[in-house]
Chains A and B, each alone.
Chain A
Amino acid sequence: MKRFGEVRAVAGVDFEVREGELFGFLGPNGAGKTTTINMLTGLARPDAGTIRIAGIDCSKNPKAAQHLMGVVPDESNLYPELTGFDNLSFCGSLYGMTRHDREARAQDLLEHFGLTEAAGRKFAGYSRGMKRKLTIAAGIIHAPPILFLDEPTTGIDVASARQIRQLIADLNANGTTIFLTTHYIEEAERLCQRIAFIVKGRIVHIDTVDALMHETDGRHVVQLAVSNNASELCDQIMAEFPSLQCRAVAAGNIRVESSEPVRVGPLVRLVEDRDAEVFEARRIRPSLEEVFVRVTGIEVNAMKQEKEKAKMGAGA
């Protein structure tokens, strides 16, 4: 639990992250994500409760736990006056790495992150995407077994975000346990094995991505791409199969929903009997975004816009 004056920033946060897992922590602005990360990493002290990282009680011995972790904050906070290479080397020295080890590791990371050419340039002159990549590289310079990533792709261009997501996936595949906070639902869906939803300082749901999807998956949805008259076909499908619900979605597409698995054969036959053609039939899984909206009652687009605006404001 964590209070700031009268405000209870975090309360009722109880979770466990397994070794080697990529764990997502999702929530809107002000939900308590960064406060939770700060408490886990030793930048904030909880008012009540316990935090254990690799068996170490962080409230009693935060420095021992800090040996095991790398932290990438939500802002790229390296030293603007140092070059990319010097920043990495300096960060390595904070973890007691010898000059030879940290310089070799810095070279490797710069190459891996595609920043070799910018190694000698000052951090202040980097683009937003390059800054983010170098900040992640600084977080893993000492090859920590645990990595905290706070909003790693917020406010950067699509190509850099894509590259960073791949880097995160690679790190996890190589055994790094990752705690990722993000407000990009699709990012969490793509990367994480388990996800916790946090709203107003409380975890409201926590489960594997598959299980989260399955929970709302009481509905079975099939989408058919048809040649013509989608609305009319929908009416006919519902008349013929009363247990199905059908609606026309995008042009030439109909979406059929049922509480039971949908048999596609009779549907295709019905459509063809009406002198129309079926070009494609596919099962639609509910997105994690839909799950998030249902569980938290928060509109995802509003959350994204709010965060981007805050980020741009801070960067301006």
Chain B
Amino acid sequence: MKAWIAFWNILVKDMRSYYLKPPNISWGLLFPLVWITMFLVRSGLGIESLPSLLPGLVGLSILFGTTSVLSVTVTFEKKGRSFERLLLAPISLEVLMLAKTTGAILFGVANAFVPLLVGSFLADLSGVNWATLIPAVVLIAISSTFLGLFIAVSVKEVFEAQTFSNFFRFPMIFLCGLFFPIGQLPLWLRPLSYVLPLTYGADVLHGSIHRPPHMPLVLDFGLLAAFCAVLFGFSLRNIQRKWIV
């Protein structure tokens, strides 16, 4: 019970301090809209091609939404030493880090629904399989958030967090099958795609919106969950090793 009081208050504080701030809300809305416009204009295929672009737009919105804020805020709190307060609290590191990441997960999920909402006005989304789409959105948000956490505990400065985030994010736009099928990538790049969690999330998103998935859904979901566990475990280990020296 006591741990839940701490969990809830850390989450509420982060939501108020970071995620619900006007700049973040507008960024969370604008960013997916800009992506939609850019891809529609660039593809030249017209509005009817939106369903095939939506999985990529949803994936990108989650990836950028989660990693941008979390990696920066955790690094910022660590640098200002307010993070020490959390480490000194009598709550387990697992509960503490889940509380710190839940805000980013919720923010990522909310970001995912911006392109979906816009898409529902512009195109026919009646064929969307929401039963697989929603769990996929949640799992992509969790894995991307934990990737952001992994970045946050690997760096010391805020600017390093941003640079290191881009080191992962930009290649993922091209390597994870969001817009370009993995099958069309050069053979030597494909193994890289399969070690990135978003590849499996993107496959479920495509499968839920406009075409059958390339891999069995069980495998996609299973691997996404495994990536979540590994990234979270690795981040906790890094915190124990680096921050509780």
Chain A positions within 8 Å of B, measured between CB atoms, are 4, 41-45, 63-64, 66-67, 71, 73, 75, 77-82, 90-91, 93-98, 138
**Does B13 contact A66, Cβ atoms closer than 8 Å?**
no
Q: By the criterion CB–CB under 8 Å, are A91 and B17 in contact?
A: no
A77:B91 contact, CB within 8 angstroms: no
What residues on B are CB-neighbors of A97 within 8 Å? 5
Least Cβ distance of B94 to chain A in Å?
Answer: 11
* Chain A proximity of B75: nearest CB distance (Å): 15
Q: Is B3's CB within 8 Å of the partner chain A?
A: yes
Whether A43 lies near B5 (C-beta < 8 A) is no
Contact B84 A43 (CB under 8 A): yes
A118 to B6, CA, bound (A): 25
Interface string of B57-94 (1 = CB under 8 A from A): 00000000000000000000000111011111111100
Known contacts A64-B90, A96-B5; decide if A82 and B17 are in contact (CB<8 Å): yes
State in angstroms the CA–CA spacing of A296 and B245 once bound together.
28
B contact residues around A44 at 8 Å (CB): 244-245
Q: Do A77 and B85 have beta carbons less than 8 Å apart?
A: yes
A77-B80 CB under 8 A given contacts A93-B6, A98-B5: yes
Check if B90 sits within 8 Å of A43, measured CB to CB.
no
- Do most interface residues of chain B lie in helix, strand or loop, or is the interface mixed? helix
B9–chain A nearest beta-carbon distance, Å? 4
Partner of B89, one of A66, A78, A81, A98: A66
- Docked pose: A80 CA to B77 CA in angstroms: 10
Distance of A78 Cα from B1 Cα, bound (Å): 25
Pairs across A and B, CB under 8 Å, 7 listed = A43-B84, A44-B245, A75-B81, A77-B85, A79-B13, A79-B82, A94-B90
Q: Is the CB of B1 within 8 A of A90?
A: no
With a cutoff of 8 Å between Cβ atoms, the chain B residues found around residue A79 in the complex are 13, 17, 82
A111 to chain B, nearest CB (A): 23
**Which of chain B's residues 142-189 have a Cβ closer than 8 Å to chain A?**
none
Asked whether B88 lies within 8 Å of A63 as measured between CB atoms, the reply is no
Q: How far is the CA of A106 from the CA of B112 in the complex (A)?
A: 39
**Are B9 and A90 in contact, CB atoms less than 8 angstroms apart?**
yes
